[in-house]
Every structure is written in structure tokens, then in C-alpha cells.
Amino acid sequence: MENQIYQVLARKYRPRTFAEVAGQTAIIKKLQQAISNNRVPHAFLFAGPRGVGKTTIARIFARALNCAEGPAVEPCNRCIFCREIYEGTSMDFLEIDGASNRGIEEIRSLREAVSLRPARARYKIYLIDEVHMLTGEAFNALLKTLEEPPEYAKFIFATTAPEKIPPTIVSRCQRYDFKPLGFDEISDMIKMVVESEGYTIEHEALKKLVETGSGSLRDILGYLDQIIVLAEGKTITTVLTREVLGIASGENVWQMIDTFVSGDTKQAILFLHRMVSEGKDITNLLGAMARKMQIFIWNAYGINITDEELDKIWIERFKPVGAGKFIRGLELVMQTKEKIRYEPLELVLAELLCFNLVETLKTPLEKIETTIVSDNTAAQQETQNEQMEKKQNVLSDSDIKERVSEDTPLSKIINSWDEILLRIKKGKPLVYAALREGRPVKIEDNCIHIAFGANFSFLCQKVTENRQIVEKTLEKFLGVHYTIRCFVSNSEKKTPLNENPRVKEIIEFFGGGEIVETEE
Ligand SMILES: [Zn+2]
């Protein structure tokens, strides 16, 4: 029986020395220099986003200052002073949460406590987290202390919003701006944690994990906790990672944006409630939403960052909405994300955001449908030559039947087609969903011609865009390099669309795209 209580990774792997901290090297160097030069100021301001090491570094710094063998550039972590700070029992190191102790009374009693000498240690050190939450009166009281601090007192103020702190306070602090951690810094740390836990992690899973955490090591370790609990065996797979992260990122986020674009306020609110009831953190959800909006805007200006199939499809769908609306939408998301952190009624703020986003992003559905139709038409008319070729490539059913005899390369491909599809499905389910509506009908100069029914021009286009994926799979499977060419054929059998469950499935895959019947 496992009798140890599971300790969350962020806590288990919390660095005990400066050397163990991921990133922030410039800040650490400066703090260590202050100690070794014996020039430690009275007050520090640690500013920066959440989860990048502000309180961790503050605690190590406090130990380094009060260590029996110090002040030293690293705490010994063995003496009574170090241990008490580490265990949170030190009388001379006090952590105060600015969000819940924001009033004048709390700061007054802090002032009284500061006037008493340290109980045992060298310094009396105060760490006030989220100090920007203090009230104006409380800041005034704090300022008096900072103006004439006792020589044994040290203050470390941590904040995610330094601009909300009065300049009179800021000017009395030595300021340190913490940067979000870089990709390599985080992935090195995650690899270390994963290996120490006896697991391995797939490269793509690691990438997904780091991207979703947007620079916050604490958030990423939180996700890793959930993933490890669910992992079967000792490998953290991409599939599982996507599953655990998926709800707050990927498809659900696009679907949520879709409720705004459709102008469906009720669905937007219900969607939000579902996310919250599934235990999703609202701030993370807004962060994921902001990232999707950002890549949409990038795309509109010709900056193509994403290599995700899913993103490309949604970006295409939302094109008629326009970058302008998305820029205003992104602004709203960022404003709410900022407000929401310490607002006890965060759900109310998130709901308000939904109302505002519907107003900002809603675009009549007809407009979206029309654009898809005209996009297709445009694509089909791209060049006269191409269209001529297309016409030549439209084969009649009898034509096709004639060509398929038993041992031609084409018949081999047709016989293995289902298996080829399955291979593509494993890596690229969306390409698979589109490709299975086409069928190979001809091979010419090592080029496989794939016909799609006239009502599947959208899928035909999707496969064409992803033809390299199909070609690679074909090469792996057949050992011969083929190119593919997709075309829409009038002679391909039309399925009564409403009766076809596979069509429904595809529409869901593509996030509710409309079936557009096009005339050749
Ligand atoms: Zn020590």
C-alpha cells in the first residue's frame, strides 16, 4: 500500500537554492551580488506575471539573508533559520497575502510588528504578495514604515500589476522585473521533473504542455500533476496530454469563440458554465482564448504561426468576421483577464465578457456561408488552365470501372485504401475525415488522382492543402513515391447528405461547417 500522501509537483520540486531555480538568472545574480557586497536595500519590488518564480526566489532570498552561516549567496537549508522559513514557522519571516489583508488595520498591525526587533534571526523579513491589492490608506501607512525602516527590517513586495502601486512606494524599492520563462527553461525543468518521477515524455506532449502554460511553471506543473495521475504505464503520451489540456485549449476554445461569432449569447453563457463546472480555471480559459484570437489576427496580416490543422480550419471559417472585430475582441479578453485575478465574482466578469464578445464578434451566419461558397468559386476559377485540367480529369463511372483491373498499381492502391486511411487517421484525424470522402480513380506518371463528389468540394480543397501528409503516408505504406491530385467530379455519386451519418461526423470535425452544393 502506498502510504505517502501525494505531494503536488510544484511543491515537491520547489527549488531550495538559487542554483535550482529555472531561469531569472540576471535577477538572481543581482540579489547574490547585493548579499556579497553587503548592500542589501530595505525594500524590493518583484514584478512579473504569475508562476515565474517571484515568491520562490523571495523565500530563498529570505533564507540566504537569515541563514546562520550567512548572509550568504545560497542558504545552507540545514540551520534552524533556514528550516523554519522553509517550513513556514519562522517568527522573523512573515508572508502576507495582499489580496486578503488589504486594509488599513492590517497594515497598522504590520507597522507595530515591524517596530519589534526580530525574535531570533538577523533580519525581520516581510513578503507581501500581490501588494497592488492594498487600499490607498494601507499604502499610506506602509509608506510611513518605508520612509524610516528599522535597520533589521526587510520588505519584499511581489506583484503581477506593478502599475497599480503608488509611485511613492515604488521609488523606495529596488525593482526587479521577472520575465516569463522561455521555452527551453521550462522544458528542461519539466524533463527533469518527469524523469525524477520515473516517467518519459513524448516530444510533442512536452511541446503542448509548455505552450499551454504560457510561461508559468506553476501552471504547467499543475497540468503535469493531472496527466501523471491519468497516465497508463510510464510514458506521458501526446494523446493523453492533448486530452488533459484539450478542454481549456484547442477545439473547445474555438467552439466558444464560435458561439460569439454566431451571436448566440445563451450558448456562450452555457458553454462558459460547462467549462467552469468541469473545473477549468477561468483565467487559463481566457488565456487560451486570447492565444486563438491572436493567431487569427496574425493570419489576417499574413503571419502564419500555427501548424495545427484545427486552427487552420477555424481561422478559415472565421475569415468573414475580419481582423478588426477580433482585435477589439482580444482587447476585451485581455481587460477581463486582468480584472479577474482577484475578483471574488470572477464568473460574473467572465459572463459580462461573453455578452460583450457576442456584441463585438457576431457576424451574420449567411455572411460566413456566402463567403465559403465564393471562396470555393474563387479557388476553382483560380486559373483558366487549372480549370481546363480539372474538366479533363472528370471521369465517368464507366471510364473508371474500365481502368480498374486486378493487378494494376491502381487496384493495389484501391485494395489497401482503407488501411492507408487508417494510418492517416492516427496522425491527422481531420485529413482522414476529408480524404475518406474521396476515392482513387487513376494513376498517371506516379500521380494518384482522387475524385470527390460535387458536394464535397470543401473536403477536396482540405485534402489538397494537406496533400504532403497523404503523400508521405502513401510512400511509407507502398514504398513508392506518389503525388496526389484531388478533383471534384460530377460523376461521383452524390449521397443524400442528410441521411449520411458520416457527413454529420465530418461537419462536427470541421466545427459545424455548412454543406454547400456547388454547380460545376
Ligand atoms: Zn541556513
Query: Does 5 map to a domain?
Result: no
Is the same domain home to 501 and 378?
Answer: yes
Cα(68) to centroid(ligand 1), Å: 5
Cα(32) to centroid(ligand 1), Å: 15
Domain span including residue 449:
369-509
Is the same domain home to 142 and 274?
Answer: no
Query: What is the mean pLDDT for each group of 10 consecutive residues in the chain (520 residues)?
Result: 66 90 92 94 93 93 93 94 91 90 85 88 93 90 89 94 92 93 88 93 88 79 87 87 66 89 92 81 84 92 78 88 94 90 81 95 67 43 41 40 55 82 80 83 85 76 85 82 83 50 52 44
CATH assignment of the domain containing 191? 1.10.8.60
What's residue 7's pLDDT?
78
Whether residue 486 contacts residue 460, with contact meaning beta carbons closer than 8 Å, is answered with: yes
What's residue 508's pLDDT?
54
- The last residue of one of the domains, among 337, 363, 389, is 363
CATH assignment of the domain containing 121? 3.40.50.300
Cα(517) to centroid(ligand 1), Å: 75
Residue indicated by cell numbers 472528370: 394
Cα(69) to centroid(ligand 1), Å: 6
Cα(35) to centroid(ligand 1), Å: 14
Is the same domain home to 233 and 311?
Answer: no
Cα(255) to centroid(ligand 1), Å: 53
Task: Report the SS3 class of residue 93.
Answer: strand
Is the same domain home to 256 and 238?
Answer: no
Residue indicated by cell numbers 513524448: 202
What's residue 190's pLDDT?
92
Is the same domain home to 192 and 108?
Answer: no
Query: Does 17 map to a domain?
Result: no
What's residue 94's pLDDT?
92
Cα(334) to centroid(ligand 1), Å: 42
Query: Does 78 map to a domain?
Result: yes
Cα(31) to centroid(ligand 1), Å: 17
Is the same domain home to 475 and 434?
Answer: yes
Query: Does 428 map to a domain?
Result: yes
- The last residue of one of the domains, among 129, 148, 177, is 177
Residue 72 DSSP class:
-
Q: Enter the pTM of the model.
A: 0.54
Is the same domain home to 222 and 93?
Answer: no
Cα(146) to centroid(ligand 1), Å: 27
What's residue 159's pLDDT?
94
What's residue 4's pLDDT?
56
DSSP 180-247: PPPHHHHHHHHHHHHHHTT-EE-HHHHHHHHHHHTT-HHHHHHHHHHHHHH-SSSEE-HHHHHHHHHT
Is the same domain home to 193 and 59?
Answer: no
Cα(58) to centroid(ligand 1), Å: 15
Is the same domain home to 150 and 233?
Answer: no
Cα(34) to centroid(ligand 1), Å: 18
Cα(65) to centroid(ligand 1), Å: 9
Cα(492) to centroid(ligand 1), Å: 79
Is the same domain home to 211 and 238?
Answer: yes
CATH assignment of the domain containing 409? 3.30.300.180
Cα(120) to centroid(ligand 1), Å: 13
Cα(9) to centroid(ligand 1), Å: 24
What's residue 389's pLDDT?
41
What is the separation, in whole angstroms, between the first and last Cα of the chain? 69
Is the same domain home to 38 and 117?
Answer: yes
Cα(23) to centroid(ligand 1), Å: 23
Measured CA to CA, the distance from residue 250 to residue 262 in angstroms comes to 19
Query: Does 170 map to a domain?
Result: yes
What's residue 517's pLDDT?
41
What's residue 130's pLDDT?
92
Cα(484) to centroid(ligand 1), Å: 68
Helices (H), 364-444: 365-380, 384-393, 397-403, 409-427, 429-435
Is the same domain home to 316 and 328?
Answer: yes
Residue 19 DSSP class:
G
Query: Does 9 map to a domain?
Result: no
Cα(59) to centroid(ligand 1), Å: 12
Query: Does 479 map to a domain?
Result: yes
Cα(72) to centroid(ligand 1), Å: 9
> One-letter amino acid identity for 515?
I
Cα(80) to centroid(ligand 1), Å: 7
* Burial degree of 184 (CB within 10 A; 0-12, 13-18, 19+): exposed
Q: How many domains does the chain have?
A: 4
Cα(64) to centroid(ligand 1), Å: 7
Cα(57) to centroid(ligand 1), Å: 15
Query: Does 3 map to a domain?
Result: no
- The last residue of one of the domains, among 363, 388, 419, is 363
